[in-house]
């Protein structure tokens, strides 16, 4: 089946490089098309992040035809071609053998475009585009062996062929279905949806690193709340997080800024799932999710700090002094925690916002450079020791509260505190 592109493509360096690779392959007597997600996105009027090429040329032919190549996946028929500074993945049409490890085929054999389309995950990802054939339109001809064009029109995400077989090959496809359906605002077709539900428990056998990467991709997109809702509906949240499945609506997650980072997104998801902040449950959740999603140290710290900062704002802000408020507001987690507090308690967030405006308007601001350093204390004849840190903290508090406004003020206060034993 063939068709024309419904919308204009964006002329990008990536597309030009891919088109030139296809032209070179054609000149050498080979079949070559744009393939997969880039075709899908062009048909939807989106700008693809990258372009992939599928061809009947084998890896040895590709390395001979192109000067700069990398055979990172040559055993699976995949070669990276660098042209004009752009790296394009070029894959030989293939048919896959059994997926013993539920991730990659045990073996592949080079085949035809039809068989290559049949081994892909979803119909909308199994389309090819011939940019050189302008007989069907100025931008090329779409080749469709699996009904992907009709599914694009219907906004349906459907597995290629037997959905149970596709999921059995790679259980991570269940998460990809959730992510893509949310990102594209597509509906997962009934047969594919039922197969995902049947295979939900199998997701527990997928590597935590791969699961974490899919969740990161979901959280990085503005449709994250829709993805989380679908995860719960399909029973995938339990094997993803190592918890009981919960279908509570993600109200907090849905109200985050589109550009919100991973830490605040995970914190919002945890709150939507009923987490009580300020309890030991928070730290237990961080430990559990770190393992379940293979979080990095920085990601774990971000989630932990946000969850710890929320109860500090909600329960202690009104009783904190100026210095303590400035210190809290200057932490990395404060802004994200505030966003979550805003959703949970708008009136409190309004008071905090007013207080923050006043704190920023002070002469010293929120987080000034310290007026007095440890070297300054040594210069005063004070001996370094455990009390140094306490003294420097006391001096910085005085600076934040504008009880000292110069280095000389700070040095005088340092001598007073050291002499009186006040620190």
- Predicted confidence (pLDDT) per residue in 61-87, tens digit: 999 999 999 987 667 789 999 999 999
Q: Which H or E run includes 338? A: helix 334-344
For residue 29, give both structure tokens: 């007597």
What's the confidence (pLDDT) of residue 1? 47
In the predicted model, what is the mean pLDDT of residues 334-362? 96
pLDDT of residue 41: 94
Q: Do residues 136 and 3 lie in contact, with contact meaning Cβ atoms separated by under 8 Å?
A: yes
Contact predicate 203/175, CB 8 Å? yes
pTM, full prediction:
0.88
Instruction: From 327, 328, 274, select the one nearest 306 (Cα to Cα).
Output: 328
For domain 1-148, the CATH architecture is 2-Layer Sandwich (3.30)
The tokens for 184 are 């594209």
Is it the case that residue 260 has pLDDT exceeding 60? Answer: yes
**What does the pLDDT look like over 376-410, one tens digit per residue?**
999 999 988 888 999 999 999 999 999 999 999 99
For 129, the enclosing helix (H) or strand (E) is strand 128-130
pLDDT of residue 197: 95
Other beta carbons within 10 angstroms of residue 333's beta carbon come to: 22
Lowest mean pLDDT: which of 8-12, 82-86, 88-92, 211-215? 8-12
CA distance 376 to 410: 10
244 phi, psi to nearest 5 deg: -70, 140
d(CA 86, CA 51): 10
Q: What is the mean pLDDT of the chain?
A: 92
Topology at the third CATH level for domain 155-247:
cca-adding enzyme, domain 2 (1.10.3090)
Residue 105: pLDDT band by 50, 70, 90 thresholds?
Answer: low
pLDDT tens for each residue of 111-157: 899 999 999 999 999 999 999 887 776 678 999 999 999 999 999 99
Tell me the HSE value of 117 on the side-chain side, using a 13 A CA sphere. 22
pLDDT band at 419 (very low <50, low <70, confident <90, very high): confident
The answer, yes or no, to whether residue 93 has pLDDT greater than 80, is: yes
pLDDT over threshold 70, residue 98: no
Query: Which residues partner with 109 through β-bridges?
Result: 95
Question: DSSP of 57-94, one letter per residue?
Answer: --HHHHHHH-SSEEEEEGGGTEEEEEETTEEEEEEE-E
Q: Report the pLDDT value the prediction gives residue 296, as an integer from 0 to 100.
A: 97
Instruction: Say if CB 276 and CB 248 are below 8 A apart.
Output: no
Indicate where the chain has its CATH 3.30.460.10 domain(s).
Answer: 1-148
- First vs last Cα of the chain: how many Å apart? 81
**Where do we find the tokens 């009904």?**
147
Is the confidence at residue 374, as pLDDT, over 50?
yes
Q: Which of 226-240, 355-369, 373-387 has the lowest mean pLDDT?
A: 373-387
Q: What Cα–Cα distance (Å) separates residue 389 from each residue in 379, 397, 413?
A: 16, 12, 15
Mean pLDDT of 316-339: 97
Where does the chain hold its CATH 1.10.3090.10 domain(s)? Answer: 155-247
Q: Which two tokens stand for residue 242?
A: 């190592």
- Helix 262-272 × helix 224-233 angle, to 10°: 40
């Amino acid at each position: 089946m063939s068709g024309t592109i419904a919308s204009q493509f964006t002329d990008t360096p990536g597309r030009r490089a891919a088109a030139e690779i296809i032209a070179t392959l054609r000149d050498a007597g080979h079949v070559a098309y744009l393939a997969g997600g880039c075709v899908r996105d062009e048909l939807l009027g989106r700008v693809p992040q990258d372009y992939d090429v599928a061809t009947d040329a084998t890896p040895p032919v590709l390395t001979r035809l192109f000067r700069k190549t990398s055979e990172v996946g040559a055993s699976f028929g995949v070669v990276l071609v660098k042209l004009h500074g752009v790296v394009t993945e070029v894959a030989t049409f293939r048919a896959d053998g059994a997926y013993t490890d539920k991730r990659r085929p045990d073996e592949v054999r080079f085949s035809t475009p039809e068989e290559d389309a049949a081994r892909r995950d979803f119909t909308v990802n199994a389309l090819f585009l011939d940019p050189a054939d302008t007989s069907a339109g100025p931008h090329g001809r779409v080749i469709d062996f699996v009904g992907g064009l009709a599914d694009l029109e219907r906004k349906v995400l459907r597995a290629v062929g037997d959905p149970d077989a596709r999921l059995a090959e790679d259980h991570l496809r269940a998460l990809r279905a959730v992510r893509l359906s949310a990102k594209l605002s597509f509906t997962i077709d009934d047969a594919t949806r039922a197969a995902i539900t049947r295979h939900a428990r199998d997701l527990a056998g997928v590597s935590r690193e791969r699961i974490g990467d899919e969740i990161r991709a979901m959280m990085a997109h503005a449709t994250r709340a829709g993805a989380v809702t679908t995860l719960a509906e399909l029973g995938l949240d339990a094997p993803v997080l190592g918890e009981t499945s919960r279908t509570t609506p993600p109200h907090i997650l849905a109200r985050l800024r589109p550009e919100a980072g991973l830490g605040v997104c995970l914190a919002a998801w945890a709150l939507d799932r009923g987490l009580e902040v300020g309890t030991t449950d928070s730290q237990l959740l961080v430990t559990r999710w770190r393992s379940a999603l293979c979080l990095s140290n920085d990601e774990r710290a971000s989630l932990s700090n946000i969850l710890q900062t929320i109860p500090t704002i909600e329960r202690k802000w009104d009783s904190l002094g100026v210095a303590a408020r400035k210190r809290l507001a200057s932490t990395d987690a404060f802004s994200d925690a505030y966003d979550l507090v805003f959703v949970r308690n708008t009136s409190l967030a309004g008071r905090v916002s007013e207080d923050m405006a006043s704190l920023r308007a002070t002469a010293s601001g929120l987080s000034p450079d310290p007026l007095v350093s440890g070297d300054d204390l040594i210069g005063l004849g004070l001996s370094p020791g455990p009390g140094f840190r306490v003294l420097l903290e006391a001096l910085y508090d005085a600076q934040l509260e504008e009880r000292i406004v110069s280095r000389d003020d700070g040095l005088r206060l340092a001598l007073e505190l050291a002499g009186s034993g006040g620190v």
